[in-house]
Amino acid sequence: MSQSTYDAVVVGSGPNGVAAAITMQQAGVSVLLIEGKAEIGGGLRSAELTLPGFVHDICSAVHPLAAGSPFFQSLPLTEHGLEFIYPPLSAAHPFDGGTASALSRSVQETAHSLGADEKTYQHMMEPLVRDWPAMAADVLGPLRFPKHPFDMARFGLDALPAATYLAQRFQTKEAKGLFAGMAAHAIQPLTNLTTSAIALVLMTAGHLRGWPIPKGGSQSIANALASYFRSIGGTIETNTPVKTLRQLPPAQAILLDVTPKQLLQLAGERFSPLYRWQLKRYRYGMGVFKIDWALDGPIPFTAPECRQAGTIHLGNTLEEIAAGEQATSVGHHPDQPFVLLAQPSLFDATRAPVGQHTAWAYCHVPNGSTVDRTDAIEQQVERFAPGFRDRILARHTMNTAQMEVYNPNYIGGDINGGIIDIGQLYTRPVIGLSPYRTSASGVYVCSSSTPPGGGVHGMCGYHAARRALADVFHLTPTIQLSNG
């Protein structure tokens, strides 16, 4: 590990760790970014997991929040090699019988496709899409008095209720199913408060900017962030696992892109008894079981909308999705789980040999489950794409234990850094004046275990760095956030 002197050290190079490092470095603070793996990125890594020439995204693949992140938009990432590709449809949601709902860039087009729910959808989404640029930074940040309180209040009226409740505004299975698939990204029962918020944010992102895939794989986002960080004077060390803060070179501020479990391991002896007690009570959510496929052709979805979308939600009706998520949350493995599928090679020819394709999918499982869900996931794909299994050349699977080995932040396979329910929406990881401060002077948390939570947006890292700059260096960030 470097013996040089730095003003700040950031441990962990997921999107939030890199965002924190960039924010500090831009403010004139010298920063060392440390990563335990050979490559930076956390969930933003790509590799040939199945066969040579097939590039798979190990974790995240489609990035609506990256495209709409006020922080990422403030950086010249295209100058550092990042290119987003936008499928014609952001997401599609097939039903038994060969039909599908779809999220397109146009609110009107999406609404019109929902038949009897056209006006309801427009009434719900048009004000949110209109107001989002003004309030994006408030939604994607810690609890504070918003700059646009009336816009936030309108958003809160729809965002706070459970998805199963808000979905009752719709009459058709098409609208209800589309909304349920969006809400299932929350990785918790759809009867929980805040699940509507996840759905509304993702749908708004789709209407404003789409759900893009990065050309060449998700590693491209991490590489662009790293390139920009180095261009402004930042230093990165890889292959440097950190087991304790005593390993780190002297620094005035330490920012940790880790969840509470690792935080206790790294620095537990530095924390107050109350802070340690709160960290131990932190709750993790459901995990994921993930499959990557090398395919000899595109997935043969029956519904044409599914062949134009980068993301597919496989769960049929609202009722089926809600029942499956509820069962999983209490320790079961439903026969027909909700499956989230991405098919980037349909739109990015760099991902597979000519005429062949990659795809990945995951379903939610109880935290820590090592049950093999390959058959259940593939049956769900086959349900809406007959002949799919005949196109599989090779597969690679990861259960929750393997996910945690790959990225220690994925405790029990939880890719959100802890459940984002009403009890941990703003009080993650603990209740305090600032969610980013720890009880140890100069030590901060910048992971998805802080507001606004999981997703490739960098906002947790930005806000943590902002807090550290004010506390330790009496500075404010020089980055001016874009308004979404």
CATH number at residue 186: 3.90.660
Residue ending a domain, among 406, 429, 457, is 406
Residue ending a domain, among 373, 406, 439, is 406
Judge whether 358 lies within some domain.
yes
Torsion of CA 396, 361, 402, 281, to 10 degrees: 180
pLDDT of residue 247: 94
**Does 221 share its domain with 257?**
yes
**Does 397 share its domain with 437?**
no
**Does 399 share its domain with 468?**
no
**Does 21 share its domain with 167?**
no
| Structural domain boundaries enclosing 29 | 8-47+57-81+214-282+414-473
User: How many Cβ atoms from other residues are within 10 Å of residue 149's Cβ?
Assistant: 11
Under the phi-then-psi rule, with left for phi > 0, alpha for psi from -120 to 50, and beta for the rest, what region is 308?
A: alpha
pLDDT of residue 145: 83
Q: What CATH number has the domain bearing residue 468?
A: 3.50.50.60
Task: Say which DSSP state 149 is in.
Answer: H
Walk along the chain (484 residues) and give the pLDDT tens digit of each residue.
Answer: 766 789 999 999 999 999 999 999 999 999 999 999 999 999 999 999 999 999 999 999 999 999 999 999 999 999 999 999 999 999 999 999 999 999 999 999 999 999 999 999 999 999 999 999 999 988 999 988 888 888 888 888 889 899 999 999 999 999 999 999 999 999 999 999 989 999 999 999 999 999 999 999 999 999 999 999 999 999 999 999 999 999 999 999 999 999 999 999 999 999 999 999 999 999 999 999 999 999 999 999 999 999 999 999 999 999 999 999 999 999 999 999 999 999 999 999 999 999 999 999 999 999 999 999 999 999 999 999 999 999 999 999 999 999 999 999 999 999 999 999 999 998 999 999 999 999 999 999 999 999 999 999 999 999 999 999 999 999 999 877 855 4
**Does 247 share its domain with 194?**
no
Task: Say which DSSP state 410 is in.
Answer: S
**Does 302 share its domain with 153?**
yes
Those residues with Cβ within 8 angstroms of residue 239's Cβ, 6 or more apart along the chain or in another chain = 35, 36, 37, 38
pLDDT of residue 4: 77
pLDDT of residue 77: 98
Residue ending a domain, among 406, 433, 449, is 406
**Does 114 share its domain with 178?**
yes
Those residues with Cβ within 8 angstroms of residue 91's Cβ, 6 or more apart along the chain or in another chain = 102, 103, 181, 182, 206, 211, 309, 310, 311, 312, 313
Edge-to-edge, what's the strand order for the sheet holding 31-34? 235-237, 31-34, 8-11, 253-256, 443-445
| Angle, vertex CA 440, rays to CA 438 and CA 445, nearest 5 | 30
pLDDT of residue 136: 92
**Does 347 share its domain with 448?**
no
pLDDT of residue 484: 43
From CA 177, how far away is CA 94, in angstroms rounded?
9
| DSSP string for residues in 338-359 | -EEEE-GGGT-GGGSSTT-EEE
Those residues with Cβ within 8 angstroms of residue 326's Cβ, 6 or more apart along the chain or in another chain = 189, 190, 191
pLDDT of residue 3: 65
pLDDT of residue 295: 98
Which two tokens mark 338?
Answer: 């909700």
| Helix residue ranges per DSSP H, 160-310 | 163-166, 173-183, 195-208, 219-231, 260-267, 273-280
User: At which residue do the structure tokens 């999705």 appear?
Assistant: 321
Judge whether 260 lies within some domain.
yes
* Overall number of domains in the chain: 2
**Pairing assessment for the beta strands 443-445 and 46-47 based on DSSP bridges:** unpaired
Judge whether 124 lies within some domain.
yes
Query: Which strand (E) or helix (H) includes residue 237?
Result: strand 235-237
pLDDT of residue 88: 98
**Does 134 share its domain with 183?**
yes
Judge whether 483 lies within some domain.
no
pLDDT of residue 157: 87
